[in-house]
Amino acid sequence: MTAARGAAGLHLSPIVAGLWRSAEWGQTLSGRVRWIGQALDLGVTAFDHADIYGGGEAEALFGEALRVTPGLRERLQLVTKCGIRLVSEAQGVRVKHYDTSPAYVRGQVEASLRKLATDRLDLVLIHRPDALMDAAALAETFTALTREGKVLHWGVSNHSVGQFALLHARHALATNQIELSPLALGALDDGTLEQAQQLGLRPMVWSPLAGGRLLRGEDETARRVREAMRPIAQRLGAPLATLAYAWVLRHPSRPHPITGSGRIEGLREAVAALELHLGAEDWYAIWTTAAGRAVP
């Protein structure tokens, strides 16, 4: 598997390893180093973080692995996100809110650089749309941090078409990280994937397995979709997880699905989807079940 070339020179592997719950995986330092190496051996070279993951610990745990393994940093791409401020007595934050002020974004980038033990971040995303975002001021911050060599590319996460366009007009963005899975169909109708195709910017996709609900959820919708997927997976000779990743990958915007598992087998199941051809009829069979209706 080769890395895919994105906008303005951004390179991300087709499958991205997500570190959202990595602080809960219970990996030792040597276990983290081994897991990163195994991911790289599978061709998964992009690793997705956020400053708030693991209560702020996830980046530091990954950075510790990079510190003790010289040369490892040069083999991978680091993605992180900022802009969410959680309630914290220590930091004097009383209300959870979003913050895209220049000083805050710069401070979080500097903190991520320290925690991840690196001199540059390949991609930084604004985690959630900030109603108080000053697009011009934020774009100036992007430009300054890029000029300083601290951030190579910028993007957003969970932004609408209009929100993306507002910022993209002032500073070139590389991607919009959105939710998409057979249990989360909104991106197929809200214009974000059409915008991605129009601009030639591959989206990143979080929770392609619906946070595990698709495979293990006991709610009616999850069970119904899982049962519809099962005969397709059996016919194609693939695990349900691989079929779910293939369903996301089938979209012509060429998404980068993000995994969420600390098991190397979870990464293997995702990577296997790159070789699984899913026909339009099978794709729509899953969509029809998930949507609860036939196409018009």
- List, by residue number, the catalytic residues: 53
CA dihedral (286, 189, 125, 240) in degrees, to 10, reads 0
| Residue 256 near residue 203 (C-beta atoms within 8 A) | yes
Alpha carbon 75 to its chain's center: 19
The Cβ-side half-sphere exposure at 119, using a 13 Å CA radius, reads 3
Mark residue 83 as left, alpha or beta (left: phi above 0; alpha: psi -120 to 50; beta: remaining).
Answer: left
CB-based contact 53:14 (threshold 8 Å): no
State the burial class of residue 293 (Cβ atoms within 10 Å of its Cβ: 0-12, 13-18, 19+): exposed
In angstroms, the CA 35 to CA 241 distance is: 20
CA atoms of 57 and 51, how far apart (whole Å): 8
